[in-house]
């Protein structure tokens, strides 16, 4: 009961502040939608809410007028019904902004299962219908993991059938998982993950680590030079030193992959990024000299300690990621473009072993918590059933199954998916 009261308080506070603070943005978006084709600004659609009650959900219109009469409720990338402005709205999720009004009205929550259209809810099993006991939300765990759903469905011949058969059950299971451990902190975490891109969490961790490294270097340099610490000067230097390092790391894509997946290539890129940051730092303080500014020793020490600290962070995450990993055995192939079924430690270690000589195009994993991750900057696209999408036929030469310990029934299903496809198929670790 206390959770429900706190959750409703969070909903009212969040939706109220959101509508107030984002009002100028909403007005601008409304004008863009109106000017794009002269149609209505908002689109309302009947969805099924808590207890099976129907309500109208509101969005900024992202499709042509009467789009619901021109096709199915599910959309995919390159759907001709999506307008030019609508593509931007959908990519940024700003089309969902009017649902803050649904939240204030009590029809929805900030966090909860995304409400479905009635004809899909009619297909729910009795067990699946238990998620209707929850108030629907603007975002949820399934929304985060299916954030690239339109790209996932691109090229699928029968979009609605694929969605109902493969995507919808996964979403419902994720919502059941959320319901089993629902709590205020989990809701806040989902909101943060919705608002902030994945790399921002890596950036925040690196910001703290690099800031700590800088102050160690600044204090150490003062001790070595034999003069008192100048914290005021340090405060003027610190933002330039740390932000230049973060910008360089971002530019070389060292904030985008999984921290636990790295090798020699990532170490070299990290060193290059920090070296580039050092060049930027020297250039900045040459153009804008500071009293008691950094010396050459500080630039060198800042580079070295930052490299050691970031390497230590990645090593710690790697040990945690590979703890208890089941080996998949040896695998060799001459196919230039590989896809790997599996995205756990065994599959990622396999990718690390072969990527020096071959291109690993993508991972496909049953565990939805791996989706949208980028181990070694290689995307985890979605479930193995995504390989049924004909678009992959021109992008892959070989599929490697690297899922040690998988249930035999599931392995048979995976092999059935791959049967008759134009790729070579191998099972890593198989005799």
* Domain identity same for 189 and 204: no
User: Are both 230 and 350 inside the same structural domain?
Assistant: no
pLDDT at 324 over 70: no
Structure tokens at 312: 């230590």
Domain-embedded: residue 332: no
Rounded distance between C-alpha atoms, residue 176 and residue 134, angstroms:
10
Question: Within this chain, do residues 205 and 350 fall inside the same structural domain, yes or no?
Answer: no
- Helices 198-225, 231-251: inter-axial angle, 10-degree rounding: 140
Whether residues 113 and 204 fall in one domain: no
Together in a domain, 242 and 283:
yes
Cα(251)–Cα(235) distance, rounded to whole angstroms? 25
Whether the predicted pLDDT of 51 surpasses 90:
yes
Are 54 and 155 in a shared domain? yes
pLDDT in tens, 62-96: 988 887 777 777 776 667 888 889 889 988 889 99
Q: Are residues 278 and 360 in the same domain?
A: no
Tell me how far apart the alpha carbons of residues 126 and 155 are, in angstroms, rounded to a whole number: 32
Q: Is 266 found in the same domain as 222?
A: yes
Q: What is the CATH number of the domain that holds 379?
A: 3.40.50.720
Confidence band for 326, pLDDT divided at 50, 70 and 90: low
Name the phi and psi angles at 51, rounded to 5.
Answer: 70, 15
Q: Report if residue 281 sits inside a domain.
A: yes
Residue 425: what are its φ and ψ, rounded to 5°?
-125, 130
- Mention every residue, 6+ apart, whose C-beta is less than 8 A from residue 336: 358, 359, 397
Q: Tell me, yes or no, whether 132 lies in a domain.
A: yes
Backbone angles phi, psi at 424, to 5 degrees: -75, 145
Distance CA 135, CA 131 (A): 9
Write down the pLDDT at residue 47.
Answer: 96
Give the pLDDT mean for 193-216: 93
Which spans in 252-354 are helix H? Answer: 264-287, 296-322, 345-354
Return the structure tokens found at 130. 């238990």
On whether both 412 and 394 belong to a single domain, the answer is: yes
pLDDT at 293: 82
Please report the pLDDT score of residue 113 as a whole number. Answer: 94
Residues 20 and 134 in one domain: yes
Residue 295 has a pLDDT of 87
Q: How far apart are CA 386 and CA 170, in angstroms?
A: 13
Structure-block tokens of residue 45: 């659609």
Report how far residue 164's alpha carbon sits from residue 69's, in angstroms, rounded to the nearest whole number.
Answer: 19
For residue 310, pLDDT over 70 is answered with yes
Of residues 199, 249, 203, 257, the one with CA closest to residue 376:
257
Q: What would the pLDDT profile of 258-306 be if each residue is shown by its tens digit?
A: 899 988 999 999 999 999 999 999 999 999 988 888 888 899 999 999 9
Choose the final residue of a domain: 139, 174, 195.
Answer: 195
Q: Does the pLDDT at position 330 exceed 70?
A: no
* Residue that terminates a domain, selected from 156, 171, 195: 195
Q: Give pLDDT, residue 227.
A: 66
Q: What is the pTM of this model?
A: 0.85
What does the pLDDT look like over 416-430, one tens digit per residue? 999 988 999 998 865
SS3 79: coil
pLDDT band at residue 353 using 50, 70 and 90 as cut-offs: confident
Per the prediction, the chain carries an average pLDDT of 89
Residues 177 and 116 in one domain: yes
Question: Tokens representing 402?
Answer: 């690297």
User: According to the model, what pLDDT value does residue 431 have?
Assistant: 47
Q: Please give the residue range of the domain that contains residue 273.
A: 198-322
Q: 300 and 311: one domain?
A: yes
Q: What pLDDT shows up at residue 329?
A: 60
Angle between helices 23-37 and 84-92 (to 10 degrees): 150
Place of tokens 């090229």: 155
């Amino acid at each position: 009961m206390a959770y429900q009261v706190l959750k409703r308080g969070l909903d009212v506070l969040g939706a109220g502040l959101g509508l107030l603070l984002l009002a100028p943005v909403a007005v601008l978006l409304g004008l863009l939608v109106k000017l794009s084709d002269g149609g209505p600004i908002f689109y309302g659609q009947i969805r099924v809410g808590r207890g099976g009650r129907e309500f109208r959900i509101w969005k900024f219109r992202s499709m042509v007028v009467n789009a619901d009469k021109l096709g199915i409720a599910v959309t995919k990338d390159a759907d001709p019904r999506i307008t030019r402005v609508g593509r931007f709205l959908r990519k940024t999720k700003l089309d969902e902004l009017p649902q803050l009004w649904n939240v204030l009205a009590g029809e929805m929550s900030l966090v909860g299962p995304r409400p479905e259209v009635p004809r899909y809810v009619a297909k729910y099993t009795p067990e699946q219908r238990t998620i209707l006991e929850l108030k629907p939300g603007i975002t949820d765990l399934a929304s985060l993991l299916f954030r690239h759903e339109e790209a996932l469905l691109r090229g699928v011949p029968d979009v609605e059938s694929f969605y109902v058969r493969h995507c919808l059950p996964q979403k419902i299971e994720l919502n059941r998982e959320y319901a089993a451990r629902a709590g205020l902190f989990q809701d806040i975490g989902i909101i943060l993950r919705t608002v902030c891109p994945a790399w921002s969490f890596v950036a925040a961790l690196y910001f703290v680590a690099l800031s700590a490294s800088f102050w160690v270097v600044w204090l150490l340099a003062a001790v070595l030079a034999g003069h008192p610490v100048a914290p005021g000067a340090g405060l003027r230097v610190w933002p330039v030193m740390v932000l230049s390092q973060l910008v360089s790391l971002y530019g070389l894509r060292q904030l985008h992959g999984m921290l636990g997946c790295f090798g020699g290539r990532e170490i070299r890129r990290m060193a290059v990024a920090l070296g580039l940051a050092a060049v930027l730092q020297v250039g900045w303080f040459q153009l804008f000299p500071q009293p008691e500014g950094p010396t050459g020793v500080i630039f060198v020490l800042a580079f070295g300690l930052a490299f050691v600290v970031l390497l230590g962070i990645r090593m710690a995450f790697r040990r945690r990621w590979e703890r208890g990993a089941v080996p998949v055995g040896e695998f060799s192939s001459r196919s230039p473009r590989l896809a790997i079924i599996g995205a756990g430690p065994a599959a990622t270690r396999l990718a690390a072993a072969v990527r020096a000589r071959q291109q690993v195009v993508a991972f496909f994993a049953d565990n939805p918590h791996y989706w949208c991750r980028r181990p070694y900057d290689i995307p985890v696209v979605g479930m193995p059933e995504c390989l049924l999408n004909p678009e992959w036929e021109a992008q892959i030469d070989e599929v490697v199954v690297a899922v040690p310990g998988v249930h035999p029934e599931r392995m048979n299903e995976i092999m059935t998916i791959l049967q008759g496809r134009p790729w070579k198929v191998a099972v890593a670790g198989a005799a």
